[in-house]
Chain A
Amino acid sequence: AQKVTQAQTEISVVEKEDVTLDCVYETRDTTYYLFWYKQPPSGELVFLIRRNSFDEQNEISGRYSWNFQKSTSSFNFTITASQVVDSAVYFCALSEANGNNRLAFGKGNQVVVIP
């Protein structure tokens, strides 16, 4: 069974500081996909990034970067130079390549960026 764990905490940062969110996952599949979604107060889940289990290369996309380590089953996410608009709940999610693609989400991290 797939499982995602995020330390459910509220993280407050001052604008322009970096913030890193931790995600640990469990899966029996050898092929799986990891995601980060953002949920602002409006409620809509916004896709941010996705990583395939067979590609551990870490990348940077604008102010977002991620650190995927299969050895520790972790998929951490960093926002660089945070802005007030980054204030939201961030969810890590996992889907297994078994045909249905359903997402298993963590409980989310509430990020508050203080101006």
Chain B
Amino acid sequence: DTGVSQNPRHKITKRGQNVTFRCDPISEHNRLYWYRQTLGQGPEFLTYFQNEAQLEKSRLLSDRFSAERPKGSFSTLEIQRTEQGDSAMYLCASSLVQGQETQYFGPGTRLLVL
């Protein structure tokens, strides 16, 4: 059974550019979460999906951020008009909805905005 995968692992971009990250969850998991982690801090919740429905978005998710999970499998997180403050590690996690299941994380995408 493969784990959660994320691509790319690293992204360097210039301020103002758009970036898109991809997350492939564990195959039978129907919940998918996005978190952001800045240096020296714990991850912070951004948004989550159950199947293809986006059920909650954090206040951290500004209008420049959009996430999709069109077929209930992989998900993408897009940041438009990137700012230097967007530099962070973006983590994806997945879980099953059967009671309170554990979230399993991918390796993350490290974004640097110059």
Q: Which of A82-115 contact B (CB under 8 A)?
A: 91, 93, 95, 97, 100-108
Say yes or no: A107 contacts B100, CB within 8 Å.
Answer: no
Q: Is A71 among interface residues, defined by CB-CB distance under 8 A?
A: no
Inside 8 A of B89's CB, which chain A residues have their CB? 43
Inside 8 A of A108's CB, which chain B residues have their CB? 40-42
Say yes or no: B56 contacts A44, CB within 8 Å.
Answer: no
Say yes or no: B42 contacts A91, CB within 8 Å.
Answer: yes
Say yes or no: B108 contacts A105, CB within 8 Å.
Answer: no
Q: Is B65 among interface residues, defined by CB-CB distance under 8 A?
A: no
Inside 8 A of B45's CB, which chain A residues have their CB? 102-104
Among A42, A45, A102, point to the contact of B48 (Cβ < 8 A).
Answer: A102
Q: How many residues of B contact A (CB 8 A)?
A: 26
Q: Which of A3-46 contact B (CB under 8 A)?
A: 4, 8, 33, 35, 37, 42-46
Say yes or no: A107 contacts B110, CB within 8 Å.
Answer: no
Among B41, B100, B107, B108, point to the contact of A95 (Cβ < 8 A).
Answer: B100
User: When A35-B102, A45-B105, A100-B48 are in contact, do A107 and B42 touch as well, CB less than 8 Å?
Assistant: yes
Say yes or no: A102 contacts B33, CB within 8 Å.
Answer: yes
Q: How far is the CB of A73 from chain B (nearest CB, A)?
A: 17
Say yes or no: B105 contacts A101, CB within 8 Å.
Answer: no
A-B contact pairs, 10 of them (CB 8 A): A4-B42, A44-B105, A44-B107, A45-B108, A52-B100, A91-B42, A101-B95, A102-B45, A103-B43, A103-B103
